[in-house]
Amino acid sequence: MNPRKRTARLAGLLLLLGGITSPFSLIYLPKKLIVAGDATATANNVRAFEKVLRIAITCDLIGVVLFTLGVLSLYRLFKDVDNQQALYMIVLWVVTVPITFINELNRIGALILVSGASFLSAFTSGQTDALVMLLLKVFGQGTIVNQIFWGLWLVPYGILVYKSRFIPRVLGLPLIIAGCA
């Protein structure tokens, strides 16, 4: 197998593995945890699904690392096509890494609030429930900020696919459109 094909397969595998938990963490879990307008029910859901939330946090952190390695593999694949566009692709993706790691602190904070730690006795249960809801809402807003960059990196990626001679050009256009959307 030639080096380009090996790099392409590695990038594809890393991107697939990095994104495999996203629907669970970004769609299913919030619907399972957050009860609109009811902080107490939301906090009770976090308590009931604590292990699931911990798994989601871990999967998100591992996923962003795997996805980053995938994007770095794409850089190796496309740097000879257009190094400038390949660098734009990397920069627009790498911006998401600290946002993701910092944003996960909101979900970790929600877990701490429902832990029943003695230092939380200064708060009433209603206050801790409201703080849990607040942290989960802030996490949702952080995810929206991250989605901007999840889309933007696709524009230079699509341009690179379009310019390359080793991937069908027609695949570059949907990437560019998705990045603009």
Query: What's the pTM?
Result: 0.86
**How confident is the model over 67-106, as pLDDT tens digits?**
999 999 999 999 999 999 999 999 999 999 999 999 999 9
Do residues 107 and 136 make contact, with C-beta atoms less than 8 angstroms apart?
Answer: yes
Instruction: List Cβ neighbours of 51 (8 Å cut-off, separation of 6 or more).
Output: none
Which is it for the CA torsion 38, 41, 43, 45, positive or negative?
A: negative
Is the CB of residue 59 less than 8 Å from the CB of residue 28? no
Contact 37, 101 (CB under 8 A): no
Residue 44 has pLDDT above 80, yes or no: yes
The alpha carbon dihedral of 44, 34, 145, 126 has a sign of negative
Please give the Cα distance from 99 to 106 (Å, whole number): 11
Q: What is the mean pLDDT of residues 36-42?
A: 92
What pLDDT does residue 28 have? 79
At 76, the amino acid letter reads: R
Q: Tens digit of pLDDT for each residue in 113-138?
A: 999 888 988 899 999 999 999 999 99
Report residue 31's pLDDT band, with 50, 70 and 90 as the boundaries.
Answer: confident
Distance CA 103, CA 141 (A): 9
pLDDT at 22: 82
User: What local confidence, expressed as pLDDT, does residue 76 receive?
Assistant: 94
